[in-house]
Amino acid sequence: MRRLILAIPLAFLFVGSLRLELSAETRAERGRESAAASATPSKAASITESPAAFPPQEQQTGEVLFTADNAQERDSGVWIDGKYFGYVKELMGKKKRVLLAPGEHEISIRQDGYKDFEKKIVVAAGQSQTVDVVMEENPKSIYPGADAAELRLDIQPKRAAVFLDDAYVGHGGDFGGRFHSMLVSPGKHRLKVTLAGYRDYEMEISPAASEKSRMKIVLEKSGS
């Protein structure tokens, strides 16, 4: 009976020793794994912290500047790849620069009474180039007669492009206010106001001879 009583405590001591050894080995192994994980950063962290992964916008695009010598050229509308960007004087100088993706782009400058100024440019990443706007009067332009109707337009935003019968006639700020209006020959016409980021406004107008009228047009944001 005494031998059996002594054997039981010895068995417990052996099992306890084994558990301590396993616990020590487990702690050591976990310590090595933690050290290895700290020494090797995760893939997501390396992408976020790497400056090469997110280069500045100017390194991915090219810069286009515009110059113009007179008021007609500065007030002309600018289209790039068919998209209206504003009028020339808005895009002149470093603060008004246009950034474009590398590759070929089509620039169109339009002004009522002048021929369209068309030019293709090739944009290189990280480089700047200047487009000198030179407008030439269009001898075929037809102007309203003495019986023209006077249409005053209060357009918001004022920088929106205005078309009459599909011809660009200016931006919103040209036809509002006390001393600004649009002269339109009597009869039916198609009026369109457009600006990137807003829904186009279109309607048919039929002004009478020598009529004076006023319209308020507020473009709605497209939400895109």
Give the domain ranges of the chain. 2-37, 57-133, 149-218
pLDDT band at 58 (very low <50, low <70, confident <90, very high): low
pTM for the full model? 0.63
For 154-173, write each residue's pLDDT tens digit.
Answer: 999 999 999 999 889 988 98
Peptide bond into 157 cis (omega under 30): yes
Q: Which of 49-53, 57-61, 121-125 has the lowest mean pLDDT?
A: 49-53
* Lowest-confidence pick of 37-51, 79-93, 151-165: 37-51
Cβ atoms 199, 219 nearer than 8 A: yes
- For 131-149, write each residue's pLDDT tens digit: 999 999 998 887 888 999 9
Do the domains spanning 57-133 and 149-218 agree at the CATH topology level? yes
Question: Hey, what are 182's tokens?
Answer: 């649009």
Question: What average pLDDT does the chain have?
Answer: 78
CATH of 57-133, picked from 3.30.360.10, 3.40.50.2000, 2.60.40.1120, 3.40.50.2300, is 2.60.40.1120
Going from the C-alpha of 146 to that of each of 149, 169, 178, 185, the distances in angstroms are: 9, 19, 21, 9
The answer to whether the beta carbons of residues 162 and 193 sit under 8 Å apart is yes
> Would you state the CATH architecture of domain 149-218?
Sandwich (2.60)
Q: Is the pLDDT reported for residue 126 higher than 50? A: yes
